[in-house]
Amino acid sequence: MFYFFKKYFLFILFFVPVPSFAVMDEALGGFAGFVDTFTSTVVRSVGALFMTMSVVAFFWGLLQFIWAKSNGGDGDKVKVGKDFMVWGLLALFIMFSVWGIIEFLGGVTGIKTGGNLEVPAVQLTAPR
């Protein structure tokens, strides 16, 4: 099985997606429509998922910390709770910082963030 994929890897990589690109051109309005749809659905959903996971990690660490302190203050469990809180806050800080830097650079350069992406197109058919 592995030998098959190794032998035909380039064929699979370059020629199998061709029909899907033809469908993508009709359904989504070309590559620009695909990029716009991809960024508006997948990228935003993944970003929201990571934000949610970091908030959940922070509150899970807070619960572990409170539970460990109320049950006698076991050093290892308190440390695990603190670590979860720190990593959750660090993840939130990094994600909001990256978002802020992107918004700042977009404002400085005049690039609108959150809008439609205009991709330059090349005419592949001869004009009539």
pLDDT top residue among 109 and 125: 109
Q: Are 65 and 85 in contact (CB under 8 A)?
A: yes
Q: Are 57 and 94 in contact (CB under 8 A)?
A: no
**Listed range (11-15, 36-40, 102-106) with the worst mean pLDDT:** 11-15
Express each pLDDT in 31-63 by its tens digit: 667 777 777 777 778 888 888 999 999 999 999
Task: Count, in order, helices (H) and strands (E) of the chain.
Answer: 6, 0
What does pTM read for this prediction?
Answer: 0.57
Q: Are 117 and 39 in contact (CB under 8 A)?
A: yes
Residue-range domain boundaries for the chain: 18-109
Q: What is the mean pLDDT of the chain?
A: 76
pLDDT at 37: 73
| pLDDT band at 120; cut points 50, 70, 90 | low
Q: Is 110 left (phi over 0), alpha (psi -120 to 50) or beta?
A: left
pLDDT at 2: 59
pLDDT at 73: 75
Express each pLDDT in 67-103 by its tens digit: 988 888 778 888 888 998 999 999 999 988 988 898 8
